[in-house]
Amino acid sequence: MLRTRRRSRRASLWSQATPTEKSVIDESRQLIRDYINGRLKKSNLTRGRLPDAKRRPSEVSSQLQKMGGELERMYPHLYRDVSRQINITLSSESILETSFETVANELFSTGITWARVVAMFAVAGAFSVDCVHQGHPMFTRRLVDIVVDFTDRKLSSWLVQEGGWYGLVKHFRGDGRTNMFWAISGIGAAIGLAATFFVIDL
């Protein structure tokens, strides 16, 4: 009887620790909020920052910002003035949504990797800066929803299979720096193809 209770308790604890699509999406919202706030802070921008409780970032959030910051540092031309690179002006939330979706879809067109997930956050951070620079700091709130919605539709199942967001921490403890270079070529292609799309259709 005691063994049965212990097994039941262990199973319950394991169930709580096992990521679900809902838990992954809930965490995604906080992660993108943290990333946008961090990106705007690095750019010395106060407008557009999202309200947040005073708390220490989670280990996942810290790792995500660290790796995203590394991408931004090594390849600033890819993560600066993204809207200009794809030949659009962020004059409405619908244009922001279409722009992000186009770049993100191309980024993951040949598969999902942790490096590309980090690159997606870096792109979102770049868009948040563009929103503020173009006079629409309020768009950053909508940008959070756009990223979360994309994650829900396109990435949530993969994230669960990878052990949830903590899988990112475990991945980059290994050979993550090597894998990061996949993101560079991927996001370069994404921006290039997105530019073609907007030149033709807008």
* Tens-digit pLDDT profile for residues 122-143: 999 999 999 999 999 999 999 9
Express each pLDDT in 18-67 by its tens digit: 889 999 999 999 999 999 999 999 999 988 888 875 567 799 999 999 88
pLDDT value for 128: 96
Among the ranges given (45-49, 50-54, 110-114, 117-121), the one the predictor scored with the smallest mean pLDDT? 50-54
Whether the pTM exceeds 0.85: the reply is no
93-131 as b/e: b if 16+ CB within 10 A? bebbbbbbbbbbebbbeeebbbbbbbbbbbbbbbbbbbb
Average of per-residue pLDDT values in the chain: 82
Q: What span, in angstroms and rounded, lies between the C-alpha atoms of 108 and 114?
A: 11
d(CA 109, CA 103): 10
Q: Pick the residue with more confidence: 51 or 116?
A: 116
d(CA 100, CA 39): 16
